[in-house]
Amino acid sequence: MLMMHHFHNNFFQQNQIITVPAPEAIVAAAAKNSDTSNSLKPNGEQYLNGAKLYTRRIEIGLGIGGGVINSMLYNVDDGHRAAIFDRFQGVKLDVIEEGTHFMISWLHRPTIFDIRRGP
């Protein structure tokens, strides 16, 4: 408390002059800054702009995520089988049946074979 009182006496001096801008200057500065994104806009428009930006980021994230998931899926059709080549282990011994399957695209490479009997 004592330090705060000492600071208070040194901060405000007796002969200090405080200048206040004229009201016209305040109005002109407010009008100049009224069209910036940081100013307060009527009817909550600043919140709508923020929501649009946030929604756009979500859309971009979902698009990238969907593309990554799409690249990790592959289909084995009826009458076909797949063998998986792994970059670290070589050819896997498992034979992949029909259906939609998951792979790590940079690690696995499926090779699909036709196993139907010909006439």
Residue 9 clears pLDDT 70, i.e. is over it? no
Residue 83 and residue 111 in contact, taking contact as beta carbons nearer than 8 Å: yes
What pLDDT shows up at residue 24? 74
| Cα 46 to Cα 39: distance, rounded to the nearest angstrom | 8
Within-domain flag for 10: no
Within-domain flag for 79: yes
* Band (118; pLDDT cuts 50, 70, 90): confident
pTM for the predicted model, two decimal places: 0.51
Within-domain flag for 39: no
Residue 101 and residue 76 in contact, taking contact as beta carbons nearer than 8 Å: yes
Shortest CA distance to 117 belongs to which of 79, 81, 91? Answer: 79
**Other beta carbons within 10 Å of 41:** 14
Containing structural domain, residue 93: 49-119
The single residue listed with the structure tokens 């896997």 is 92
Beta bridge partners of 76: 99
∠ CA 22-28-29 to the nearest 5 degrees? Answer: 95
The number of distinct structural domains making up the chain is 1
Within-domain flag for 4: no
Query: Which tokens in the block code for residue 52?
Result: 């649009």
Within-domain flag for 109: yes
Of 4-8, 38-42, 44-48, 56-60, give the range with the top mean pLDDT.
56-60
Within-domain flag for 65: yes
Within-domain flag for 23: no
Within-domain flag for 75: yes
